[in-house]
Amino acid sequence: MTSKNILRPARLKPGDKVGIAAPASHFDMENYNSGVHVLESMGFYVSVSDDIFDRNRYFAGSDVHRANLLNKLFADSSIKAIVCARGGYGSIRILPLLDYNIIRNNPKIFVGFSDVSAILSAIYTKCGLVAFHGPMVTTLSDASQKTKESMTATCFSDTRLEITIEKSIVLRHGSASGIVSGGNLATLCHLTGTLFEPCFKDHILFLEDRRESVYKIDRMLTQMKMAGCFDGIVGLVTGLFEDCGEMKEVFSVIDNIFKDEDIPILAGLEAGHGRNNITIPFGITATLDSDKHLLSFHEVATA
């Protein structure tokens, strides 16, 4: 897939209706309510269905229930964007139940991260729709100003996104261009060998995670490498790997896994788990210049 035939969702305007999806775990109501207020303060009209408050074990309702809610949100023409309530676990379970024809025929902004990386990957891979790796409702409750400004800039702006990765660490010097894709390492690793396994050939891959031991990060990267997941990638940019031990050890593992790849590698993008969570569009071509600490997109993510 090239960015030339990618589906770009419509750009948002102040007052547009945003729907809330709950594709994974159930969530804390205090954080949820606070996050809804944040979305409203950002200029959105928030539409909430009572269906998202269901609980089934550790999920926000049954698999069918969660999938149906997401399908309905995509089918509803009055909804201009969808923001997930929370990650946790469960997104991978509903992938076979999503209606990709409905999603493809009703392109709109879909935002989430962590466990929701499974859905981001699926709608980009199956539908060719730009997906947005960014904050969720419960994480917006105490989000930094930088996080909120990045989300609004990406969803409302008609300018190309340029991300200067401050305090980053260059693991491999160089510059390369490709379509940006990726997400949470553990979630993407669990897609390996399934019908929803993504292809990262000719892509700039973004990876991040939280609370995973260094040896587990090593194991997941090794599995994906042995499965051929990284064949043909043109660049790698990583998040901060919050609460994963000594960062120098994590970066050492990454450097070792990709030691045979002649690609630029830059570590330290503030996206995913962490105080700052920059919104990144997946499916758009960008240039990663590790020497300039810059990820610059060639096109706008919305239409």
- Active-site residue numbers? 114, 208, 273
- Give the pairing of strands 294-297 and 280-282: unpaired
CB 245 within 8 A of CB 214: yes
Kindly report the backbone phi and psi dihedral angles of residue 280, in degrees, each rounded to the nearest multiple of 5, phi listed first.
Answer: -120, 125
CB 115 within 8 A of CB 87: yes
What are the CA-CA distances from residue 229 to residues 29, 176, 224, 233, 260 (Å)?
38, 19, 5, 9, 14
Distance, CA of 195 to chain centre: 19
- Give the pairing of strands 203-208 and 175-184: parallel
